Amino acid sequence: MWNDAVVLIERIETGLDSLRQPIFSEWETFALCNIRSVSRSEFYQASKTDNRPSLVIEMHKYEYDNQPIALVNGKRHKVLKTYSIDFETIELTLEEVL
C-alpha cells in the first residue's frame, strides 16, 4: 500500500554558542507513505495566504509526531497542515523550502 518514503525531521535546541545563539540538533525518522500532488483548488486557496503547497503525503498516524520538516526525494519541505483521514491515516500538506 505504501509506495514511497519520507524522512521526518525534528529540530531540537541543544544549547547556545558563544554569541548566545541557539544550536540545533536534528532527529530523523524514516516512514513509508504515498505521495500525491496538490489539488488545483487547494493550491489556489493556499496562495491567498502566501503558502505554496507542493506535495501531499499520506502515512500512518502513529509514525507522525508533529515533526515540522519532511525530506522527500532529497528535498526539504515544511509541513503546512495535517488532516486526519481516518483512525490510522494522516495527510500532510507540504511546502518546498528553498
Res 19: pLDDT: 94
Res 69: pLDDT: 96
Q: What is the CATH number of domain 4-96?
A: 2.40.10.270
Domain boundaries, the chain: 4-96
Q: Amino acid identity, residue 89?
A: T
pLDDT band at residue 49 under the 50/70/90 scheme:
confident
The structure's pTM equals 0.86
Q: Which three cell numbers stand for residue 71?
A: 525530506
| Average pLDDT for the chain | 93
- The C-alpha atoms of residue 24 and residue 29 are separated, in whole angstroms, by 16
- 42 sits in the region (left: phi over 0; alpha: psi -120 to 50; else beta) called alpha
